[in-house]
Amino acid sequence: MTVDALPRPSEHDTAAPDGLGRRQVHAVAACYFVASFAALGLPPYLTTILPGLGDQQGRWAGVLYIVPTVFSALGAPMWGRLADRYGRKRLLLRAQLGLAVSFLLAGAADSLTAFTLALVLQGFLGGTFAATNGYLAAALDGARLSRALTLMQGSARAALVAAPILVGALSPWIDPHRQYLLMAVLPLTAAVFLSLLPEPGRPGAKTTAGTAAEAGTASEPDPALGPGPGPVPGSATAAAAQTDATADEPTDRTPLRVLYGLEFAFVFATIISFPYLISLAEERLPGVSGTTTGVLFALPHLCYLAFAARTHTAFLHRPHTGIALGFGFVALGLAGHAVADSLPAFVAVRLLLGAGLTLGLVCLSVLAAEACRGRAPGRLFGSLEFVSKGGAVAAGAVAALVNGRFGATSPVLVGTAAALLAAVVATALSSHSRQRWSRT
């Protein structure tokens, strides 16, 4: 994986004994990769799995594809709050073990009902996105946190590219249904490694109102997430926090409702093209091989792996500009899908989409890291996962609806319209952010 988003160890890395070092963050990323690998590798083979469970035509494949996503969204806010209360490491281990149990149940299922229940448990008991990011946010902040979040996205992108290939390669020897049993080893292994890592916590930080009061701090009110710890205005602690905040990012934070809106819109606009991309490519490129369509599907994610670290450096202090550009590239790429009729044209529009995907995901990570200051990270990332999964579910539902009525081109046109609208809004936010910054 080429997304090496973290800096080399420095005095800053070792100055926080309760934080996480470079190697520890990479260990967390590796564990996130194997969890994502297991969760992303098998769903594309549902149409192969379901006939053995009684659904001969695989009619339930589309519904079952989003079942884990729906229940992950429903469970994420609760698990986030529990992580803030009982410990982020404990809840991260819970997520990995939950995945392992659900994979074992899915692999052993002998009916469609049992298999569906296993997928429900996979979504509800998993939630490694919120658990992993909450764990990191409890130990890192500012630029180091946004780099770590960028690295986690790289882990997921690498898994999305590699997992279906490995599952397909194993299929002649192990039925994809029974591969769930094999995949259960991956989150179990991740749990073992994670158990060796420390419980994260910023030095001197307190996670409850009571301990905050003892330390001479007060809670910062937040209408979406409730109170979070923050220094008393005018105190020496507040001055130090203000100095630290301005060292690597603007002091003006994006309101949570704006962050959630950008997250939903970005996930919706990018995901809506995924379900029917292969059928669109086969329609426009008669005789194209499965390998070629697989490479076309993977190109945007490969762009992220290649350029995420450089993009983070370039847009660390101007994430609103980056997200506006990201939506613009997504709109151009999706619009190009509607007219591409040759392999070079498809490669070009997939690369445009990759540029937008990279800009958007990296800048959303910067905004999320900025939003974490003074807030409970478990609750924030639980809510963010709820919004993100909601965008994915909405994209899948709308794609199925318009594809059935208007054909394979219609999902990318809907995505283009959504991305254009979001680009206009993000551009306005970027302009407003620059004006506020110039007045400070």
**Tokens 């884990």 -> residue:** 68
311, amino acid identity: T
Closest CA to 413 of 336, 315, 324: 336
**Which one-letter amino acid corresponds to residue 240?**
A
Instruction: Please measure the distance between the N-terminal and C-terminal CA atoms of the chain and give it in whole angstroms.
Output: 39
Q: Tell me the average confidence (pLDDT) per consecutive run of 10 residues in the chain, 440 residues long.
A: 46 48 91 87 85 86 86 90 89 94 96 96 88 90 92 91 85 91 94 90 43 36 36 39 40 80 95 82 84 85 94 94 96 94 94 96 95 88 92 88 86 94 90 55
The three-point CA angle 105-108-110 to 5° equals 115
Helix (H) or strand (E) holding 217: strand 217-220
Predicted local distance difference test score (pLDDT) of residue 216: 37
Q: What is the pLDDT of residue 243?
A: 39
- The model's pTM is 0.78
pLDDT of residue 13: 41
Amino acid 39: pLDDT: 85
Biggest CA–CA distance in the chain, Å, is: 70
Q: Which residues of 64-91 are buried (b: 16+ CB within 10 A; e: fewer)?
A: bbbbbbbbbbbbbbebbbbbbeebbbeb
Residue-level pLDDT at 208: 38
